[in-house]
Amino acid sequence: MPAAGFDGCVITHNCWDIAPAWREQLAEGRYLVLPLEIHGYTRAITLQKHGDVLHARGFTFCEFVRDLGSASRTTPVADLRGGELQLRFEDGEPADVSGIEDALLGPRHELPTGVTVAPQESFETLQLYLATTLPGRCRLALDRERDSRIAAVPRGANAPTVLSAGSLA
């Protein structure tokens, strides 16, 4: 390592935490760029070092290979409808899913939130905000191969979901 630290660092695998050594070995005012997974959403984030703090300077949506080996994590899942659907809990233990099967078979209810998104406006910040602030968050994933009626949805596609008292949104 150079005496003043590295001029920059680029991490090329999906990570869910920032290793202290990456910050410690970075020169003052220089940049760390990494694909950081935050509650199941990956963003390539540019961080700039100021003292002992890394300041975010920009981000964009991306997908990378997840950590493997000792740094890897598994994503707990709860199967619904015989495995046709899954709730993916990116942050650890699955929440209570009792009543969700009944909710999926029952009538649909809609409640307008008042939130609007302008044409050409990105959903990236909204997804990240919801993923980092709402309790009961998870991802609803489907198995396209088991339901040909939804062939337009890519395999492994999933939607941000919130569980609460036997229902989901």
- pLDDT tens for 112-135 read 888 787 888 776 677 777 777 888
Alpha helix stretches (DSSP H) within 52-120: 100-105
Is the model's pLDDT at 152 over the cut of 50?
A: no
The C-alpha atoms of residue 75 and residue 90 are separated, in whole angstroms, by 5
Is the model's pLDDT at 64 over the cut of 50?
A: yes
Q: What DSSP character marks residue 93?
A: S
CA distances from 14 to 62, 63, 164 (A): 9, 7, 30
Q: Which residues pair with 88 in a beta bridge?
A: 77, 139
pLDDT at site 107? 84
pLDDT tens digits along 87-110? 888 877 778 888 888 888 888 888
Q: Which sequence spans correspond to the domains of the chain?
A: 6-69, 75-168
Task: With cut-offs at 50, 70 and 90, classify the pLDDT of residue 151.
Answer: very low
| Average pLDDT over every residue of 15-30 | 93
- The secondary element (H helix, E strand) that includes residue 37 is strand 26-38
pLDDT at site 115? 78
pLDDT top residue among 52 and 37: 52
